[in-house]
Amino acid sequence: MRLAGPLTFAVAIILSLAGVAHSQEKPLREIVNSFAEARNFNQTEEIVAELGATGDPAVVPVLRALSEGDLHVRKSDNQVFIVSGRGKTLTIIDPLTGEMVGEEGKRALSKIRVNNGLRRLIRDTIGGLALGSPDPAARLRAARTLISNPDASSLPAIEAALEKETDPEVAAGMMRARAAAILVSERPDAEKSEAITAVAAISTQDALSLLLGFRGQATGELREQVDRAIARVERVQSYWAMAQNVWYGLSLGSVLLLAAIGLAITFGVMGVINMAHGEMVMIGAYVTFVVQEIIRTSAPWLFDWSLAIALPLAFLTAGAIGYALERGIIRFLYGRPLETLLATWGVSLILQQAVRTIFGPTNREVGSPSWMSGAFEIGQLTITWNRLYIVLFALAVFAVLLFVLNRTSFGLQMRAVTQNRRMAAAMGIRTPRVDAMTFALGSGVAGLAGVALSQIDNVSPNLGQGYIIDSFMVVVFGGVGNLWGTFVGALTLGIANKFLEPYAGAVLGKILVLVFIILFIQKRPRGLFALKGRAVEA
Amino acid sequence: MISGYLARNGLEGRIIATIVLILAAGVAVPVSNLVLDPSHPLHVPTYIVALLGKYLTYALLALALDLVWGFCGILSLGHGAFFALGGYAMGMYLMRQIGTRGVYGNPVMPDFMVFLNWKELPWYWHGFDQFWFAMVMVALVPGMLAFVFGWFAFRSRVTGVYLSIITQAMTYALMLAFFRNDMGFGGNNGLTDFKDILGFDVQADTTRAALFAASAVALAIGVIITARITGSHFGKLMIASRDAESRTRFLGYRPEMVKLFAFTVSAVMAGVAGALYVPQVGIINPGEFAPANSIEVVVWTAVGGRGTIIGPIIGALLVNGGKSWFTGVLPEFWLFALGGLFVFVTLFLPKGIVGTLQDHIGRRREKRQAEKAEEAEAASAAEPTPVGAE
């Protein structure tokens, strides 16, 4: 049974590549209907091989349906159909054209039985058919599948396909598939030696396990060559692992940047730590939730736009709360930064409890728009779209803030107040207004961060708490009064965290980063990018 | 001259009254619990004794924070860490006392280590079977941590909100560390299921009463130490480095050394408070390190009045009493109340209850003295001048 599968499979592919002529000798429908006569698994197997031999892509749905147990025979006339649906009456579909034929009672049909050996054969046959498929992308996919599951018996088929291949990229993929197959075959050592080089060039985890498997049976020079190849693949793998860590670090860093940048602005301008900053992030996330709920109930077709709608709303909501907080509480506490810290902590408790009372203490589900789900690969790097969009979004927010701070008159006023509040006031800047607007801006940016974080984190009343200490660390590390400090601080801490994780574990890595920052503060008490000047000490 | 002398004497009198009051409570509550019949109206039930004992340790913690915040201007958001470390030292002693009565019956190792398949006791658990050693550690571990941390922080002149934030980072890092099972402190569950302390059953009424009395004595000693330190020349330096650090430095003093001393003493006091807390509540877990807990201590001190000695004690008792009452009656509203308290106190009562009262009394006394002086002046003058008394 185990040998029969691959053998029939190989025959099927060779025949399929031999040409379409064969398929005209016996119409497809006749072969498909012959499933009705199959008395045991072996006979079914032969028919599958025959179908594979036609090389006609039209048989793929039939084979797939067979594998899933959806291929049935109508007892009355021995016709074969694909069925769908549940219950007593099933919809029957023509296996080759895919058209609905009608409905039939379950009792009038009998299922064509399959076992695991057959399923494997079907999978390989479909793979082999793909190797001869007119679509180059499908051929490439088939070649890749063969690299991960190399099989000596598929070697002739690969070589036959390779001869006919015109697309250079697909040909390269097939060469690799051939090399992988050679390693597990009985071919002479010279060919195997070439194959080792070719497999080593693939450098994936599959290639590594293939080489490690081959190492056991290799002797003499071949053994040395395999060892060298393994070392090479492992080196390449470690580079990719490093690249993956950098990517995770960038992703974490951009989240930290989003969460910390608003904090850095308010701290820089007003010298107060806003302990309720995390709650502004949380409010941004809940705004996203509310927007999505409204869209779900009244305008589902807008769902893909839900985040775009939530962004300005979150900015305005969090900004308004920040403005109210500044006007209502913080402006009475100027010159007393420690008291401000306590008062804003009180506000954060109230906001958390308010959200808990309104929305309940459990996590709320925020969906991802279709364009944000899924992932793609660069080399051996897997990148999910939502992480990529968050990195881009963080960069965009950073760029806009840089523009606001450096190119607008409001930004100029903010910077003036940061550097020397009294002198700025003497020059006619209304510092209370700048304070209120700065606080609103910082809180609004936190709201934007909340929209982004709702895509990767649980939306619960405690959302902000998880980020607040890390955000403080970013601000303390990067220094205030300069957005670049926050930028460098956030990315450094993000990458450092992710690089420590594999060696020290997630928790210990975080502890090490905290200890590092505590020590770093000793050397540079005002952060990486410290403001200089007389006003700083005041 | 005379008024200054009177004021100083008055302050001392108030401190002595506080100490007497605390000690009286330390005797009265246990006696009423143990001697009086449960039906007697003045009988204090055992659960109340344990609750009040917990409040007394909180009061000591608030007093420790007041020493650094109220008198030295260092807003520590990590005092819960010292409290928890003291608590863990005590908890380790209590764990070793369980002996073979644990679920696994291992004579040396606590249950959680047997559960984790550890072969022998980690080195840092040795010695904790001795009470005196555990007591030394209760003071030494928080003290050393505060000394090292403060040494680095104060010497490089980390001040203000930066200092607050890194103390918060310190307690956060410790919390994460203690949550790890590999640390050997019971991970998430912490240390619990205690049996005896010094051979007495921790659940027994008499032991609870004794622990209450011990907490009262510790608080009284804490008050004496704080009063001694703040009343001395050194106390003046603490206030000087709080109000004008640069000026103090230019006058030739070393504010960083002043702060370091105060920070270390305060950490030891917090550690002792933690050690008394653990046998009374019966558990210590990493949640005690949570930054929110440390900030809550700050609000007790702020409510009572920082920079006063009685204030933090009153604040801790009031806020925790309120918390117990609220969580019983309106559990959802406790956080609203606590948050509102933070905002209200910082906006309207920056000196706290005691500070505001003191100001009020001080102003009235000044007014009275001014009136008296005027009367004396008027009497000594040949003709009273009613216009001047305006």
Domain residue extents for chain A: 4-124, 133-218, 250-537
Put simply, whether A473 touches B (Cβ < 8 Å) is yes
- Nearest to A38, CA basis, from A23, A48, A24: A48
Overall domain count for chain B: 1
What pLDDT, on a 0 to 100 scale, did the predictor assign at position A388? 92
SS3 B387: helix
Confidence check: pLDDT of B280 > 80: yes
Architecture category of domain A250-537 in CATH: Orthogonal Bundle (1.10)
Return the DSSP state at A113. Answer: P
A514 — pLDDT class (breaks 50, 70, 90) = confident
* Residue linked to tokens 């001393």: B261
pLDDT of A290 over the 60 cut: yes
Are the Cβ atoms of B166 and A517 closer than 8 angstroms? yes
Query: For B260-276, what is the mean pLDDT?
Result: 96
A346/B350 CB distance under 8 A: no
Q: Which pLDDT score is estimated for A279?
A: 94
Chain A environment of B332 (Cβ under 8 Å): 353, 356-357
Q: Return the residue in B180, B330, B335 with the most chain A beta carbons within 10 A, the one to mutate for interface testing.
A: B335
Residue A3, SS3? coil
Dist. CA B356–CA B308, nearest whole Å: 11
**Does the pLDDT of residue A531 top 70, yes or no?**
no
Over range A533-538, report the average pLDDT: 49
A1–chain B Cβ distance below 8 A for any pair: no
Show Cβ contacts of residue A498 under 8 Å, excluding neighbours closer than 6 positions.
Answer: A245, A246, A248, A249, A252
Q: Please provide the DSSP assignment of A351-400 as one string.
A: HHHHHHHHH-SSPBP-PPPGGGS-EEEETTEEEEHHHHHHHHHHHHHHHH
Residues of A in contact with B157 (CB under 8 A): 525
Q: Is A360 on the interface with B (CB under 8 A)?
A: no
Average pLDDT over residues A478-502: 86
Give the bridge partners for A89, in sequence order.
A105
Contact B246 A517 (CB under 8 A): no
**8 A C-beta contact, residue B62 and residue B316:** yes
Tokens of A192: 């195997």
**Binary contact (A349, B152; C-beta < 8 A):** no
Tell whether B164 is within 8 A of chain A (Cβ). Answer: yes
Beta carbons of B162 and A476 less than 8 Å apart: yes
| A149-180 residue pLDDT tens | 776 767 777 777 778 777 888 888 888 888 87
CA distance B116 to B113: 5
- What is the model's pLDDT at position B10? 45
Q: Tell whether B141 lies on the interface with A, counting CB pairs under 8 A.
A: no
Q: Please name the member of B156, B333, B346 whose beta carbon is closest to the beta carbon of A342.
A: B346
Q: Please name the residue of chain B whose CA is at the shortest distance from the CA of residue A349.
A: B339
Query: Does residue A345 belong to the interface with chain B, where contact is any CB pair within 8 Å?
Result: yes
For residue range A369-395, what is the model confidence (pLDDT) as tens digits? 888 888 887 877 888 888 899 999 999
Tell me the nearest-neighbour CA distance from A196 into chain B, angstroms.
44
Mean local confidence (pLDDT), B145-166: 88
Query: Secondary structure of chain A: what % helix, strand, coil (to 5)?
Result: 75, 5, 20
Interface probe for A, chosen from B152, B157, B294, B346 (most Cβ of A below 10 Å), is B346
Q: Taking 50 as the threshold, does the pLDDT of residue B311 lie above it? A: yes
Residue B372 lies in a domain: no
Sort out which chain B residues have CB atoms less than 8 A from A273's CB and list them: 161, 164-165
Looking at the complex, does the CB of residue B373 fall below 8 Å from at least one CB of chain A? Answer: no
| Cα–Cα distance measured from residue A323 to residue A318, given in angstroms and rounded to the nearest whole number | 9
The DSSP code sequence of A466-495 is: HHHHHHHHHHHHH-SS-HHHHHHHHHHHHH
Residue B383 resides in a domain: no
Averaged over A301-313, what is the pLDDT?
A: 90
Tell me, what CATH number does B196's domain have? Answer: 1.10.3470
Q: Is the dihedral of CA B123, B125, B127, B133 positive or negative?
A: positive
For residue B268, give its domain range: 2-363
Mutate to test the interface with B, among A341, A357, A469, A511 (most CBs of B within 10 A): A341
CA distance B96 to chain A (A): 27
The answer to whether B338 contacts A507, with C-beta atoms less than 8 Å apart, is no
Q: What is the pLDDT of residue A18?
A: 45
**Residue B302 forms contact with A (CB below 8 Å):** yes
Identify all chain B residues contacting A521, using CB atoms and an 8 Å cutoff: 153, 156, 158, 162, 166
Q: What is the pLDDT of residue B2?
A: 39
CB of B264 within 8 Å of a chain A CB? The answer is no
Examine residue B352 and state whether it is found in any structural domain, yes or no: yes
- What does the pLDDT average to over B47-59? 93
Rg of the Cα atoms in chain A: 32
Question: In chain B, what residues touch A526 (CB-CB under 8 Å)?
Answer: 162
Nearest CA in chain B to A523: B156
Q: What separation in angstroms does the CA of A384 have from each of A257, A369, B207, B371?
A: 19, 13, 60, 79
Q: Give the mean model confidence (pLDDT) for residues A181-200.
A: 78
